[in-house]
Structure 1
Amino acid sequence: MEFNKNYLSTYYKHIQTEDNFPEAFLYELFLVGKMTRDKETINEIAEYIEKYGTVEINAAFKTRSKLPEKGDDSEKILNSFISFTLKDPLFPLGKLYAKLGFLQVFVNETLAEKLEEQPEVIQRFEGIEKLIIEIDLQDNILEKFCNIKTIKSLEIEGSYQKLPETIGGLENLEKLELDLEHLQQLPISFFNLKSLKEFSLTLSIKEGKQPFALPNRFHKLTKLVELNFYDAALEDISELLFPENIKELGFYRLKNIKKIPKSIVSLNKLEKLSIFDCADVAELPSEELMLDNLWILRLQKLPQIHCIEDKYLFLPNIRSVRLDENVQISNGNTVFENTELSISNISLLEYVLNHPENFPKLKKLKVTELYDFSSVTVGLEQLKSLESIEVFQLKNSEILWRHLGKCSQLSHIKIVHADVKTLPEDLRNIESLAVLEISDCSNLVLYTNSLPARINDFKIMGIKELVSGKRLIRTERTYLDSVPIQDLKNFFGHFVVSKLLWSITGGEQFSEEDLTQYLPEPEKLKELKSYGTTAHFQDVLKYCT
């Protein structure tokens, strides 16, 4: 049984049945004795420790420091552990701290002062997995922390000009974040961190500061999958090499950089690439791209780049592209294999709509947060192979919808927070439409005469009005919420549904007339949930058998 601070008495009884009790469990007994408030248990443990323990562990146990009964105050526990360690140099501070569920140590000024007085205590931190240092420590203190082999995550912030070479001995370190504006170089041992998976370096750009030289050895860190540089004046990085397994690469607010490393074009496992606010970057690598797994691309605040080749923007698995609005996209007459795109840039949308011949396999399109369609001249009807369209937060987007019915392969339409006023009449011609979902479109008036005769899932919420016509509509599942319907009798009279969830406003919602009597095929209704007056469905069991 593992130690569990919530079941002290159960754990105490369990270890008494174990082999080598109590000799092999003295520090576990120490924990139980300092946390429990049961006097009998405390006395028993004191006898075990006195009989089988060293003079030092007895001295530590006899201190008046108690641990919180629920073990939920990490700072108090750590301070108590340090006091125990000063009595017992073998006290396994880090391991016991981890047993209580605390794997992280935050080094504040109070803790730093204690450790500077007693630096030998630091070696007992073995067992912790995450260390956060946001103050300047004496060199010997930082060096000793970098000897703790169990650390998996390390964050250092301060005015350090150098890091100890011992940092390269952190054989289990997986994540390293450095925010060091005065750092002059990375220690040579840095590239011994063979377990490192994530690394970020922030240098805080200062006027007149000498450019920072990055060693061209990152490709030696074979397990590295995330690498990000922030706020740095770097020397030329165009020849930097990266490990072939890298998945995320970011360059943020880098000063002086004119070229991005040309090696990025061959990182075929790269999934996320961000180049943001690099004012002097004037070009992107022109070599053939092998970024087949890239799905997030951010190219923003790059004032020297006025035109980007389309090959960068429509890679095989791209899902999201963030681009400056004023950037032009050059047409390379490439036929792209994309089946799915997510667009939140008007230039990208224009390009796709104006060059549909470049996207013959595009089936799913997602458009988000676009507010100015004044430059768009054609709509979604250009994309003949489109099967799914989802839009979120659009304004002035009427041109997108004018001839939507020409997208004859559409099976899924989702519109959320868009100011669309109506859907075109030719929408009724899309026989393949299976899902129509519209929500929070307060200007939309939806005419049932514009809908296909059959829709599997019909979900409408928060529109201006639903206007019922003479066209019979069949659905499997219908959800209507906050949808004013002026002629409920006519609507039910042209509506065939299997599952109906009904919560409407406006129209005749407070009439006492049962509506199910008007269903043309009432026997098809299998499931009904209604929020509102029961009068509409008082005879539902009579008509919907």
Structure 2
Amino acid sequence: MTQFLAGGLLEAIEDSAASIVIISPNYASSRWCLEELAKICECRRLILPVFYGVDPSDVRRQTGPFEEHFRNHEGRFGKDKIEQWRNAMKKAGEIAGFTNRKVLTIREVDAGTAAIKGIVNEKQVLVVLDDVDNINQLNALIGNREWFYEGSRIIITTRDIEVLSKHLVTEFYEGTRRIEGIVLDFEKRLGKPLKDPSGDTISWYNLQRNLNFTSAVTYLKERYKRYIEDQAEKEMEVVIFTDSLKTMDNLRLLQINYVNLEGKFKYLPVELKWLQWKGCPMKSLPSDFCPHKVAVLDLSESKIEQLWGSHNNKLPQFIGKLFSLKELSLNHSSLEEIPDSIGSLENLEKLSLMCCKSLNRIPDSIGNLKSLSSFFINGTAIKELPWSIGSLSNLKHLSVGENHFLSKLPDSIGGLDSIVELKMVGTSIIDLPEQIGALKVIQKLEMKKCESLRSLPKSIGCMWTLTTLIISEANISEMPESIGMLENLIMLRLDGCKQLYKLPASIGNLKSLQDLSMKETAVTHLRESFGMLSSLMILKMAKKPHVALLDKSTPEVPVICSTIEKRTFFELPTSFSNLSLLSEFDASSLEISGKIPDDFEMLSSLEFLNLGHNNFYSLPSSLRGLSILKKLILHDCKELKSLPPLPSSLLEVNVENCIALESVSDLSNLESLSDLNLTNCEKVVDIPGLECLKSLRRLYMSGCNVCSSIVSLRNMRNLSMPGSKIPSWFSQKEVRFTNLRNREINGVIIGVVVSLNQQVSDDLRYRLPAIVDIQAEILKQNSYVYKTTLNLNGVPKTNEDQIHLCRYPSDRPIVWSLKDGYKIQVITRTPPIMKGVELKNWGIYLVFDGDDDYEGDEESLNESQQSISERLATFFNTFEEEDCVSKSVGEVEEKVEETTFLCTPCFFVKNLMLKSGKD
């Protein structure tokens, strides 16, 4: 199974009982979507397809809009992969799903009634109508029993029995006696009293005070809606009154997480099959509660100290008599001891004791749990696993991590014939036993933060089914050659293994490897066999940059880290260009020097390329051949002198702090470019084609001496550049928002002028490449409502004033949070994260409907009639002219000889095409 997908998404798919797949005309153009669908099919989960604007037959046969997509994929991916995707599409297309053609647009009640009647008459249906309070609702939605196909069921809840039609309703149920399940699953954070608008504490008792109460959902909606709007910061406590449980003879499921009690708790229904009470506040359960039928018992995070007569945080011997028990969870409890009788739970499938920090021993009888498939003891104080653990023949998931007491695994670990996932995160394990190679069906082995781990056994190469191997922050210096035998390995993570200095020659044999991450290792070269990784898609080799530290005694003199003296420059192997499926390559701070290989364009699948903090001085002209490259990161390449022609597919280019950069090729072909960062590129004086970047949203030029052509501000979201003025028509004090009757607010523009009055270290720039101490906040009667940090990207190396404009559209909280009478203002963070940031000036402008909609020529209009974008253009052009006046006559005459008039830092500059006679 391929591993395009993030681990979290894979787990979500595996844990889901069903998946809703929305298939649109462009669905098959994304390999990520196809891979997700293939994974869903592989897991044999229920699939509910939604055919949005496509014909199911086209999905089934991969024709129509999908035909070209698969033709494109065939040139980039293997035959097996294409076949897997086609089979997944075929399976989805064969399922009777939902199409947007089936959605009925109904505007009249009579038409809706007729439509319902036509549908429910053809097949059995289940109809649930919650909290009916009007007989007309029943007449319109249900009519009479003759509408419905034989065997259909209708459930109606109401607080007014008079609305129930006697000719329709055949059985009445009142009160709670027939309730079979209660679910009140509140987040742990909700821990203090919360009252609804009536002043009552929200409780089960109060839900029932109305004799006709039937719907907790409706009650909470009605009573809580206004409260949530006005009191969002309050916390909640949910209380159950114990008397309510006495009448619930049929109760089978009780899930009341983080719920408190009021009254004496002396009763739990004997028929309970599912009891989940996370955060249970009691020290014991009722003494006569004998849950012989309980299948799920979850008392995680509880305060229980004794169960069924046991004391001192020990499980009683009685636990072994719960023969129906399938799941036992006591996570985050004070549990100290497990009895030997636990081995009698022959039906137990899941045992979870995570973060039971006082638990230091597992009894040998654990090996008798032949049905156990999941065993989680991470976060405990267990010093060793019992030898009998190797007898758990059906165990599939074992987690023993976050335990610095555990230093070894028993040799019997090789007996876990069914294990598919073994996690040992944060343990003190020094070596793995050779027997670990006997795990013939294992798919995932994870050993993050195992700092004591010195080596991997040769037998690891025998784990042929392994697809994911994570060995991070370990003390290993090399990998065994046998690693090349893992022909099904998809993901390999070696991040933070700082002693790892080389990869084995057999690395090239990993034909299924798609994701290789080895950040912060000591590897300084890749073997020629590396180019044989024909399936590799993601390669991450980033390191932290070597930076100069400032000697506090003499701030002017940089002291270079001793590690810099031992630098070994990195070179890519000639076979690197064979990685034709590589889509993401992160080589930041890898000490690549000289120049990048000319055959880089052969990496035809590359979408993300990060070469920041490296020492090369030029990029190959073949870079333009990367036809699907989306993101190019070159920040802090301090020897890079020129930027060659770039691929038109780019969305983001970052050359921040490239202090030697002098020339940039024509950017006019980058029609999709949305982000351009030129911060501190002080030698760049012209950016050809900038005026053509119609998709540009963010432009950062702090600390620059660049002159740019006219760029539209209509779509600009963020702009930074040298400057000390705010447009005069911005309000330079707090703004009080007033609702306009016929005009909705659709944006907020905030301008700030900031400066740095002391030098910021390179290390801080790397960790925090933006000024983060300027914020905007919304106040209601001087009380905080909303706050956001302005996106002031780029930290200038100069102490000159910099102007930043931030424009927020209507879908941002800072816009839609504004209500009549609210105030918005700019403030500085207290205390600051970055010392030396000074807020010199600020202004705010609220944009309403119609303020920026004009599309024609606005030069003939007066300022009050112009769009916001035109007024900003006028401001920056004036800004430019004022800067130009300050230049010497000699400098101006020198510039006039050029075809483009160049000046000091500015954003909007009119091209002076002197030779063509244009003004």
TM-score (norm 1): 0.65
Question: Which residue, 338, 341, 347 being the options, matches 1:221?
Answer: 347
Alpha-carbon deviation of 1:233? 4.4
Q: What is the aligned partner in structure 2 of residue 231 from structure 1? A: 357
1:75-114 matches, within 5 Å, as: 76=202, 78-84=204-210, 96-97=215-216, 111=239, 114=241
Q: What is the aligned partner in structure 2 of residue 405 from structure 1? A: 528
Question: What amino acid is the match of 1:503?
Answer: E
1:107-122 matches, within 5 Å, as: 111=239, 114-115=241-242, 118=243
CA distance in 2, matches of 1:161, 1:101: 31
- Percent of pairs with identical residues: 5
Alpha-carbon deviation of 1:240? 1.7
Alpha-carbon deviation of 1:301? 4.0
Alpha-carbon deviation of 1:317? 1.6
Question: Mind listing any 5+ residue stretches in structure 1 that lack a counterpart?
Answer: 34-41, 58-69, 103-107, 517-526, 541-545
* Residues 1:205 and 1:29: Cα distance change in structure 2 (over 3 Å): closer
Is residue 625 of structure 2 the alignment partner of residue 478 of structure 1?
Answer: no
Is residue 318 of structure 2 the alignment partner of residue 188 of structure 1?
Answer: yes
Is residue 495 of structure 2 the alignment partner of residue 344 of structure 1?
Answer: no
Corresponding residue SS for 1:221: coil
Alpha-carbon contact 1:168-1:190 (below 8 Å) kept = no
Question: Which residue, 662, 673, 694 being the options, matches 1:530?
Answer: 673
Corresponding residue SS for 1:239: helix
Q: Deviations over 1:440-482 (max 9, x none)?
A: 8366658441655512222345543783236687444222344
Alpha-carbon deviation of 1:260? 2.4
1:386-535 matches, within 5 Å, as: 386-387=510-511, 388=513, 390=515, 394-395=519-520, 397-399=521-523, 401-411=524-534, 412=536, 414-416=538-540, 418-419=542-543, 424-428=571-575, 430-439=577-586, 441=588, 447-449=595-597, 451-464=599-612, 467-469=618-620, 474-483=625-634, 486-488=641-643, 490-491=644-645, 500-506=649-655, 507=661, 513=666, 529-531=672-674, 535=689
Question: What amino acid is the match of 1:78?
Answer: W
Alpha-carbon deviation of 1:147? 4.0
CA distance in 2, matches of 1:100, 1:403: 64
Alpha-carbon deviation of 1:534? 8.3
Question: What amino acid is the match of 1:131?
Answer: I
Q: What is the aligned partner in structure 1 of residue 158 from structure 2? A: 29
CA distance in 1, matches of 2:155, 2:667: 77
CA distance in 1, matches of 2:321, 2:378: 22
CA distance in 2, matches of 1:3, 1:463: 59
CA distance in 2, matches of 1:448, 1:328: 35
TM-score (norm 2): 0.42
Q: Deviations over 1:27-80 (max 9, x none)?
A: 8231xx4xxxxxxxx9x54999xxx999x98xxxxxxxxxxxx99999637333
CA distance in 1, matches of 2:600, 2:197: 63
Aligned residues: 463
Is residue 323 of structure 2 the alignment partner of residue 197 of structure 1?
Answer: no
1:50-61 matches, within 5 Å, as: none
Question: What amino acid is the match of 1:166?
Answer: F
1:60-75 matches, within 5 Å, as: none
Alpha-carbon contact 1:435-1:458 (below 8 Å) kept = yes
CA distance in 2, matches of 1:188, 1:156: 23
CA distance in 1, matches of 2:320, 2:144: 44
* Residues 1:9 and 1:273: Cα distance change in structure 2 (over 3 Å): farther
CA distance in 2, matches of 1:293, 1:133: 33
* Residues 1:216 and 1:159: Cα distance change in structure 2 (over 3 Å): same
Alpha-carbon deviation of 1:501? 2.1
Corresponding residue SS for 1:504: strand
Q: What is the aligned partner in structure 2 of residue 521 from structure 1? A: none
Alpha-carbon deviation of 1:277? 2.7
Is residue 447 of structure 2 the alignment partner of residue 321 of structure 1?
Answer: yes
Alpha-carbon contact 1:433-1:452 (below 8 Å) kept = no
CA distance in 2, matches of 1:28, 1:287: 55
Alpha-carbon deviation of 1:433? 3.1
Corresponding residue SS for 2:341: coil
> Higher strand proportion, which one?
1
> Higher helix proportion, which one?
1
* Residues 1:150 and 1:341: Cα distance change in structure 2 (over 3 Å): closer
